[in-house]
Amino acid sequence: MIPRSRVHPWVMLAPTLVLLVAFFIIPIGVAAFESFFAWDLLTPPRYVGLANYRAIAAHGWLFGVVLRTLAYSVLVVSGTTALGLSLALLVDRPGRLFVFVRASIFSAYVVSWVAVALLWMALLDDAEGVVPRTLRGVGLGRVSLLGDPRAALPTLAAVGVWKLTGYSMIVFLSGLQSVPPSLHEAAALDGAGPWGRFLHVTLPALGPTAAFVATTTLVTSFQAFDIVRLVTQGGPARATQLFVYAIYEQIFLDLRVGRASALTVVFFVLLFALALLQLRVLRVSGRSS
Amino acid sequence: MSSARASARLWQALACVAAAAWLFPYAWMVATSFKTLPEILADPTALRPRALDLGAYREAMSAMPVGRYMAITAVMAAAIAVAQIALALPAGYALAKVRFVGRRFAFGVVLACLLVPAQATFVPVFLFFAKVHMVSTMTALVLPFAASALGTLLIRQALMSVPDEIIEAARIDGASELTLVYRVLAPMLKPTLVSLLLVSFVFHYNDYFWPLVMTTDDTVRTLPLGVALLREQGTGMRWHIVMAGNVILSIPVLALFAVAQKHLMRAIRG
């Protein structure tokens, strides 16, 4: 640690701190302030107390938004974690083929959500899409995957799993590589077969990695927006109206700044709760970073 | 011996099936972008276009100024990535290597910002830019991301493992703090910086959310927005045009990924 420095540390920190505070801390305060006003961006704002919060909570609307967002997140988290782990176990082998397979799966994580959403919209199209046509070909697929209110959310989550599995696979692969080979050797000496070694050595060693993958994916999925805006616009019958899209609708489609701000405050509180949960899970599972 | 070979074959076959689930959609996307409208109407699922018809690309390029959107997107993403590194280096250095009153507080502020995604700030930030008449400007796209909490913390962490002796030696040689940060320490962190730069560039090149909410017209429209608009404009079957847009949008990042795979994957693994 160096005690003296010719430039004051605050000068070196200033640009970063000023920008971060201006664009990440103050906005939360501004949202809290605006949430007490009714404002349509055209006429002057009007103080309304807690009316915005009452309005979004009325008839279980807010509850529905939270529930849908959680449902989407849980589907994406379970899908990417299970599939990412299976694929990591599958491709954790030497050879160029497996390198290629790894890169193919991971590539979906690298391309834009726009490309992924539009591509799957075309593939899932009721009339011309490859997926419904194939399903009909094998005698399934009476259901409209994006048009049926019960199917739309799971369908979007499936696309999310396709997009994000490459990420969890890569994290699991690095988790697998950090399992000490000596543990496997010891288990083999004790007479454990491949299945026994997987159950008693690999799987427990991957616990922290799984906790990391699941909680990070939970936080990102909770912020999902692009796929909703591009594919379903919250429909059919609000079945895919996720949290961030609901905020977007309030401010840009309905010009209700106050309600959008109240929703933003609730969104921030929920994210904060998820972050605390993440911290707790990671601490318990023993992955500090 | 032969059972070992059989199981190796089985794993290879399974891996190919898995890869197909990711490669088939891409193949369909590329094939469709080379199709003509009658061809799509005849069989939308066919994986082989009759000929490499460039009509869909011509239509996509006449529907949007691809070059301009691409340039705007690249400038925006590069400006953000470079600014993040340029600002995070001195900030990370101050947090890692300088002792001063309030350091824990400054560190706490940066850490707290990790918890706040752009999705939780866009309403007030949009109101702010609207108030100062700066919606649909490059500033509204770049400035909110010019400082990165994550980048600052990663650089701080990387600097913690640099021995103090190197810093002392540079100071004895008469290096100023800025020279020390940008000329002595930055080259030592090259792998970290390259990864950060790439991840940030790719993320903001791909980003749909922020350019969507911070722009109301065409002035600084980015490529992802332009491609998304291809589907919203016009009527009838346009999947070949949309897929052509998709290919144009995806090729630069996939090329970057092919070249810099190691850096991107290392950044993901953390």
Q: What is the pLDDT of residue B270?
A: 56
Question: Are B267 and B196 contacting, i.e. CB atoms less than 8 angstroms apart?
Answer: yes
CB contact under 8 A, A110 and B257: yes
The answer to whether A50 contacts chain B (CB < 8 Å) is no
What are residue B98's phi and psi, to 5 degrees? Answer: -115, 135
Signed CA dihedral, B230, B231, B232, B238: sign only = positive
ipTM of the complex: 0.93
Percentage of residues in chain A having pLDDT higher than 90:
73
The end-to-end CA distance of chain B, in Å, is 39
Determine the pLDDT at residue A68: 97
Residue corresponding to tokens 């691409």: B70
Average pLDDT across chain B, whole number: 92
Angle, alpha carbons A95-A100-A106 (nearest 5°): 130
Q: What is the pLDDT of residues B83-111, one digit of tens each?
A: 999 999 999 999 999 988 999 999 999 99
* Contact present, B81 and B172 (Cβ < 8 Å): no
Q: How many CB pairs under 8 A join A and B?
A: 261
**Hey, what are B186's tokens?**
């930055």
pLDDT band for position A182 (cuts 50, 70, 90): confident
Task: Tell me which residue in B149, B224, B242 faces A122 most closely, judged by beta carbons.
Answer: B242
Reply yes or no on whether the pLDDT at B266 is more than 80. no
Task: Note the pLDDT tens digit of each residue in B110-149.
Answer: 999 998 999 999 999 999 999 999 999 999 999 999 999 9
Q: CB of B95 within 8 A of CB of B87?
A: no
Nearest CB partner across the interface for B250, out of A105, A115, A162? A115
Chain B positions in Cβ-Cβ contact with residue A119 (cut-off 8 Å): 25-26, 28-29, 243, 246
Residue B175's φ and ψ, nearest 5 degrees, are -70, 140
pLDDT tens-place string over residues A257-277:
999 999 999 999 999 999 999
3-state percent helix, strand, coil for chain B, nearest multiple of 5: 75, 0, 25
pTM: 0.93
Q: Name the average pLDDT for chain A.
A: 92
Least confident span in A52-61, A179-188, B49-58, B101-110: A179-188
Q: Confirm whether B39 is domain-assigned.
A: no
Asked whether residue B20 is assigned to any structural domain, the reply reads no
| pLDDT at residue A138 greater than cutoff 90 | no
Q: Is B18 a domain residue?
A: no
pLDDT at A52: 97
Q: How much is the pLDDT for A189?
A: 86
* Placement of tokens 């927005």 in the chain: B225
- Number of structural domains found in chain B: 1
CATH number at residue B89: 1.10.3720.10
Q: Is the pLDDT of residue B1 over 80?
A: no
Residue A236, preceding peptide bond in cis (omega within 30° of 0) = yes
Does residue B242 belong to any structural domain of this protein?
Answer: no
Q: Is residue B16 part of a domain?
A: no
pLDDT tens-digit readout, B192-232: 999 999 999 999 999 999 999 999 999 999 999 999 999 88
The answer on pLDDT for A4 being more than 80 is no
Residue A192 has pLDDT above 90, yes or no: no
Going by their DSSP bridges, the two strands A37-38 and A46-47 should be labelled as: antiparallel
Tell me the nearest-neighbour CA distance from A31 into chain B, angstroms.
6
A107–B257 CB contact, under 8 Å: yes
Residue B237 lies in a domain: no
User: Rounded CA gap, A132 and A136, in Å?
Assistant: 6
B162 near A CB under 8 A: no
Residue where the block lists tokens 């400054």: B106
Q: Do residue A1 and residue B264 have CB atoms under 8 angstroms apart?
A: no
The tens digit of pLDDT for each residue in A66-118 reads 999 999 999 999 999 999 999 999 999 999 999 999 999 999 999 999 999 99
Q: Is residue B131 part of a domain?
A: yes
- B1 compared with A177, residue with greater pLDDT: A177
Q: Quick one: pLDDT at residue A3?
A: 47
At B153-189, the pLDDT tens digits run 999 999 999 999 999 999 888 888 888 999 999 999 9
For chain A, the DSSP string reads -B---SS-HHHHHHHHHHHHIIIIIHHHHHHHHHTTEE--SSSPPEE-TTHHHHHHHGGGHHHHHHHHHHHHHHHHHHHHHHHHHHHHHHH-SSSHHHHHHHHHHHHHHHS-HHHHHHHHHHHH-TTT-HHHHHHHHTT---S-TTTSHHHHHHHHHHHHHHHHHHHHHHHHHHHHHTS-HHHHHHHHHTT--HHHHIIIIIHHHTHHHHHHHHHHHHHHHHT--HHIIIIITT-STTTT--HHHHHHIIIIIS--HHHHHHHHHHHHHHHHHHHHHHHHHHHHHT---
pLDDT of residue B94: 94
Parent domain of B208: 71-224+265-269
pLDDT band of residue A288 (cuts 50, 70, 90) is very low
Task: List the Cα angle A258/B204/A19 in 5-degree steps.
Answer: 60
Cα separation values, B95 from A269, B91, B167, Å: 28, 6, 14
The distance in angstroms from the start CA to the end CA of chain A is 23
- The CATH number that domain A41-285 falls under is 1.10.3720.10
Given a contact cutoff of 8 angstroms between Cβ atoms, the answer to whether B111 and B149 are in contact is yes
Which chain A residues in 76-115 lie under 8 Å from chain B, judged by CB atoms?
87, 90-91, 93, 95, 97-98, 100-101, 103-115
